[in-house]
């Protein structure tokens, strides 16, 4: 949204956005995990719809778009910090959280581009109640048809399928610490402790609170992996309308992150 005191300096149109992405190497028949921040641009004519329209058109000939659609409000309230919940209210909050719904659950914090994308015709959404993905195109069903409740970003996840299919990651105004698929690297070594999470699910007996196992994930280390990849010339970068855009191989990033964790962040307790 443009503030009342803002004067547009670098308007981005669908055509200028598509042109810049083509120069970066984005095109048909590609599988892209996309993370986008609309506010990173000076101004996009048409807003989030323009970004989504452009992405779908760029890859429409056999390509696939994948975006995280995390439902952060459907999670264990004892771990919330904004807002924090006192222990006396944990049970009441758990009982009041609505069950996960692929179309209607609030994905607050994921951005207007992801929100626009998930409602497009033909989009498939994975079933995890807290860390779901939305996908469109050739491999949409393959990416989202099975996501484990436990360890949801591990080998039974869209992250692993993206790795196997040699997909790319497109960061539009975001950075490596937001790159969801790179969490796969944390599961492939002993870098993180196990934690218990929870979420509300629809069952035959109504809405039930389900506990599940996961790792205590931390994407801040991915920025160090970015430095390694930059030194190896493994990232394509450009700027458009004040927004920094990065394109790279998901498999390369995950492999580099796995090697980084093996060398740098080892919990001997879990060896």
pLDDT tens digits for range 14-71: 999 999 999 999 999 999 999 999 999 999 999 999 999 999 999 998 999 999 999 9
Cβ–Cβ < 8 Å for 186, 220: no
pLDDT of residue 102: 86
Rounded CA gap, 10 and 131, in Å?
34
pLDDT band at 9 (very low <50, low <70, confident <90, very high): confident
pLDDT at residue 253, rounded to an integer? 98
Q: Is the pLDDT of residue 267 over 80?
A: no
Q: What pLDDT band is residue 2 in, cutting at 50, 70 and 90?
A: low
Confidence (pLDDT) at 269: 47
Give yes or no for a cis peptide into 83 (omega within 30° of 0).
Answer: yes
How do residues 78-136 score in pLDDT, each as one tens digit?
999 989 999 999 999 999 999 998 888 888 889 999 999 999 999 999 999 999 999 99
Residue 98 DSSP label: P
Q: Report how far residue 201's alpha carbon sits from residue 223's, in angstroms, rounded to the nearest whole number.
A: 34
Query: Which stretch of 12-26, 132-146, 253-267 has the lowest confidence by average pLDDT?
Result: 253-267
- Find, among 31, 61, 62, 34, the residue nearest to 48 by Cα: 34
pLDDT in tens, 150-187: 999 999 999 999 999 999 999 999 999 999 999 999 99
Give the model's confidence band at 141: pLDDT under 50 very low, under 70 low, under 90 confident, else very high. very high
Q: Give the pLDDT confidence score for residue 204 in this predicted structure.
A: 85
> What is the value of pTM for the model shown?
0.93
Q: Are 39 and 3 in contact (CB under 8 A)?
A: no
More confident position, 1 or 22: 22
**Residue 5 pLDDT exceeds 80:** no
Q: 144-151: long-range contacts (C-beta < 8 A, 24 or more apart)?
A: 149/210, 149/212, 150/212, 150/213, 150/214, 151/187, 151/213, 151/214, 151/215
């Amino acid at each position: 949204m443009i503030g009342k005191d803002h004067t547009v300096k670098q308007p981005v149109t669908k055509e200028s956005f598509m042109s810049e992405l083509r120069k970066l190497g984005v095109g048909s028949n590609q599988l892209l995990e996309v993370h986008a921040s609309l506010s990173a641009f000076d101004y996009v004519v048409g807003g989030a719809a323009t970004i989504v329209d452009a992405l779908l058109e760029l890859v429409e000939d056999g390509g696939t778009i994948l975006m995280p659609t995390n439902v952060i409000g459907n999670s264990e309230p004892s771990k919330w910090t904004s807002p924090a919940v006192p222990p006396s209210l944990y049970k009441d909050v758990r009982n009041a959280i609505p069950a996960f719904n692929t179309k209607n659950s609030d994905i607050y914090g994921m951005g207007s581009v992801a929100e626009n994308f998930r409602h497009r015709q033909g989009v498939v959404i994975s079933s995890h109640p807290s860390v779901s993905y939305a996908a469109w195109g050739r491999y949409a069903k393959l990416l989202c048809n099975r996501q484990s409740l436990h360890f949801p970003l591990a080998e039974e996840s869209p992250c692993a399928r993206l790795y196997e299919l040699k997909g790319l990651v497109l960061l539009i105004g975001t950075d490596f610490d937001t790159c969801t698929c790179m969490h796969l690297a944390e599961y492939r070594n002993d870098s993180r402790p196990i934690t218990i999470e929870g979420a509300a699910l629809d069952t035959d007996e109504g809405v039930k609170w389900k506990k599940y196992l996961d790792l205590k994930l931390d994407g801040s280390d991915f920025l160090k992996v970015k430095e390694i990849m930059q030194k190896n010339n493994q990232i394509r970068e450009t700027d458009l309308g004040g927004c920094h855009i990065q394109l790279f191989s998901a498999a390369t990033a995950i492999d580099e992150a796995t090697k980084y964790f093996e060398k740098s962040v080892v919990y001997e307790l879990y060896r």
